[in-house]
């Protein structure tokens, strides 16, 4: 599922940020996400519970079906008359489209057999966050060592981006 993916994220140096939730819905997603190219994007896979069911992926989660939800978060023009095409980042949208195509191909090749939300995603989340956000987190004095640190980063982004 994709929602709110056409705009730059309003954070210095992270305009190309893309969040992916739902990795917890099947253990295969972590390895799939490691294999796809995210050229031109800063991709941060994280847990759905940090942002909640803000889009159509909700029905998949409720029915315990594997899902991924891609979003750049809400922005100042969300559902307003100022939400117009010239404000979109078409290069970013093209990069997201390429990522979605590759994700779709990898998922079609994979057995998504669960367990649904039945495994610890912490090691994969730490890996992805360190890779995508390492320099920024270092500058902020945030170390990523476990779930509490991931929770802190999630609160920072959710608070700043109003996901």
Report the chain's C-alpha Rg in angstroms.
15
* Cα 115 from Cα 17, distance rounded (Å): 29
Beta-carbon contacts of 4 under 8 Å, excluding residues fewer than 6 positions away, are 71, 72, 73, 74, 75, 78
Instruction: Check residue 25 and give its pLDDT.
Output: 92
Q: What is the pLDDT of residues 26-78, one digit of tens each?
A: 999 999 999 998 888 999 888 887 777 777 777 888 888 998 999 877 666 66
Only one residue has tokens 């954070």, namely 11
Locate tokens 């117009």: which residue?
84
Confidence check: pLDDT of 82 > 80: no
Domain boundaries, the chain: 17-161
C-alpha–C-alpha distance, residues 134 and 101, integer Å = 27
Pick the residue with more confidence: 161 or 133?
133
| Stated length of the chain | 163
- Is the distance from CB of 7 to CB of 72 less than 8 angstroms? yes
Orientation of helix 90-108 relative to helix 28-35, angle to 10°: 130
Mean pLDDT of 100-111: 94
What is d(CA 68, CA 103) in angstroms, rounded to the nearest whole number? 10
pTM of the model: 0.86
């Amino acid at each position: 599922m994709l929602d709110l993916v056409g705009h730059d994220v309003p954070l210095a140096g992270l305009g190309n940020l893309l969040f992916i939730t739902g990795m917890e819905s099947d253990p295969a997603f972590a390895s799939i996400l490691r294999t796809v190219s995210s050229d031109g994007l800063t991709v941060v896979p994280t847990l759905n519970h940090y942002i909640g069911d803000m889009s159509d992926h909700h029905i998949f989660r409720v029915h315990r079906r594997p899902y991924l939800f891609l979003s750049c978060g809400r922005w100042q023009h969300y559902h307003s008359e100022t939400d117009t095409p010239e404000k979109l980042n078409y290069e970013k949208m093209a990069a997201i489209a390429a990522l979605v195509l590759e994700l779709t191909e990898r998922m079609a090749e994979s057995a998504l057999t669960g367990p649904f939300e039945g495994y610890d995603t912490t090691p994969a989340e730490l890996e992805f966050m360190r890779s995508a956000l390492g320099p920024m987190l270092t500058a902020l004095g945030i170390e990523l060592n476990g779930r509490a640190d991931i929770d802190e980063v999630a609160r920072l982004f959710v608070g700043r981006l109003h996901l």
